Amino acid sequence: DSGVTQTPKHLITATGQRVTLRCSPRSGDLSVYWYQQSLDQGLQFLIQYYNGEERAKGNILERFSAQQFPDLHSELNLSSLELGDSALYFCASSLGTSGGAGTQYFGPGTRLLVL
């Protein structure tokens, strides 16, 4: 168990809908990362927050947004869902962003299925 929790584990929804994925980092970790894993794209970095502030953006669609709250948990919001958004969404956390403090520990993921 990495100490990173994600809810829900599974999510089934329809095209056009909006969903929110939640992540709680390991105790003491300040950085949260979101990744998308799909069969054709592999693991892709979406976005990173550090202590409440956006730190880096990757291949995140405009329909997707995220935030990190004062208690350091994070939410990833996916809207106007399309079939192609079906994937595993992972959250990871790290103590900091450099050196050994930057080792990322992953949650179990949320499997999203858009029908």
Partner 1 sequence: AQSVAQPEDQVNVAEGNPLTVKCTYSVSGNPYLFWYVQYPNRGLQFLLKYITGDNLVKGSYGFEAEFNKSQTSFHLKKPSALVSDSALYVCAVRDDYGGATNKLIFGTGTLLAVQP
Residues that bind partner 1 (CB under 8 A): 2, 4, 31, 33, 35, 42-45, 48, 55-56, 58, 90, 92, 94, 96-100, 102-109
In whole angstroms, the minimum distance from the beta carbon of 7 to partner 1 comes to 13
In whole angstroms, the minimum distance from the beta carbon of 15 to partner 1 comes to 25
Cβ atoms of 56 and 31 closer than 8 Å = no
2 or 15: CB nearest partner 1: 2
In whole angstroms, the minimum distance from the beta carbon of 81 to partner 1 comes to 22
105: burial class by Cβ within 10 Å (0-12, 13-18, 19+)? Answer: middle
52 or 108: CB nearest partner 1: 108
How many residues are given for the chain?
115
The β-bridge partners of 68 are 74
28 or 100: CB nearest partner 1: 100
Cβ atoms of 97 and 33 closer than 8 Å = no
Q: Which of 62, 55, 44 is nearest to 96 (CA)?
A: 55
In whole angstroms, the minimum distance from the beta carbon of 16 to partner 1 comes to 28
Q: Which of 84, 48, 81 is nearest to 63 (CA)?
A: 81
53 or 71: CB nearest partner 1: 53
